[in-house]
Amino acid sequence: MSYVPHTDADRADMLAAVGVERVEDLFHDVPAACRFPELVLPEPLSEMELMAELQAMSEENLDTGHFSCFLGAGSYNHYVPRIVDQIISRSEFYTAYTPYQPEISQGTLQSIFEYQSMICALTGMEVANASHYDGATATAEAVVMALNASRGKRKKVVLSPWLHPEYRQVVRTYTQGMGLEIVGDEVGDGAPGLDAVAALVDKNTACLIVQNPNFLGQIQDLSGLADQVHAAGALLGVVVEPVSLGLLKPPGELGADIVVGEGQGLGNGLNFGGPYLGFFACRQKDVRKMAGRLVGETVDTEGRPGFVLTLSTREQHIRRERATSNICTNQALCALAMAAHMAALGPTGLRRMAELCYHKAHYAAQEVGALEDYQVLDDAPFFQEFVVRCPAPVADINRYLLEEWGILGGYDLGRDYAHLQNHMLICVTEVISREEIDVLVEALEEAGREVAA
Residues 201-240 touching other proteins, rule: CB under 8 A, are: 219, 221, 223
Please pick, from the candidates 8, 21, 95, 231, the single residue that binds other proteins as defined by CB under 8 A.
Answer: 95
Stretch that binds other proteins, among 184-192, 197-205, 230-238, 263-271 (CB under 8 A): 263-271
How far is 376 from 385, CA to CA, in rounded Å?
11
Q: Does 299 bind other proteins (CB under 8 A)?
A: yes
| Cis bond before residue 242 (omega within 30° of 0) | no
How far is 343 from 361, CA to CA, in rounded Å?
25
Please pick, from the candidates 202, 297, 379, 450, the single residue that binds other proteins as defined by CB under 8 A.
Answer: 297
The one-letter code for the residue type at 159 is: L
- For residue 343, what is the enclosing H or E element? helix 332-369
Please pick, from the candidates 21, 34, 186, 372, the single residue that binds other proteins as defined by CB under 8 A.
Answer: 34
- For residue 327, what is the enclosing H or E element? none
The pairs formed by 369-376 with CB atoms below 8 angstroms and a separation of 24 or more are: 371/441, 371/444, 371/445, 371/448, 372/448, 373/445, 373/448, 373/449, 373/452, 374/444, 374/448
Please pick, from the candidates 142, 143, 145, 353, the single residue that binds other proteins as defined by CB under 8 A.
Answer: 353
Query: Binding mask 109-128 vs other proteins (x if CB under 8 A, - otherwise)?
Result: -xxxxx-xxx-xxx---xxx
Stretch that binds other proteins, among 10-18, 224-232, 385-393, 443-451 (CB under 8 A): 10-18
The one-letter code for the residue type at 108 is: T
Closest approach, Cβ 124 to other proteins, in A, equals: 8
Q: Using CB under 8 A, which residues numbered 152 to 181 contact other proteins?
A: 164, 166-167, 169-170, 172-174, 176-179
Please pick, from the candidates 161, 214, 280, 293, the single residue that binds other proteins as defined by CB under 8 A.
Answer: 293
Q: Using CB under 8 A, which residues numbered 394 to 423 contact other proteins?
A: 398-399, 402, 408, 411
Closest approach, Cβ 398 to other proteins, in A, equals: 7
Contact 253, 236 (CB under 8 A): no
Contact 447, 400 (CB under 8 A): yes
202 versus 326: smaller Cβ distance to other proteins: 326
How far is 206 from 147, CA to CA, in rounded Å?
6
The strand order across the sheet containing 385-389 reads 375-376, 385-389, 423-427, 411-412
Q: Does 94 bind other proteins (CB under 8 A)?
A: yes
51 versus 189: smaller Cβ distance to other proteins: 51
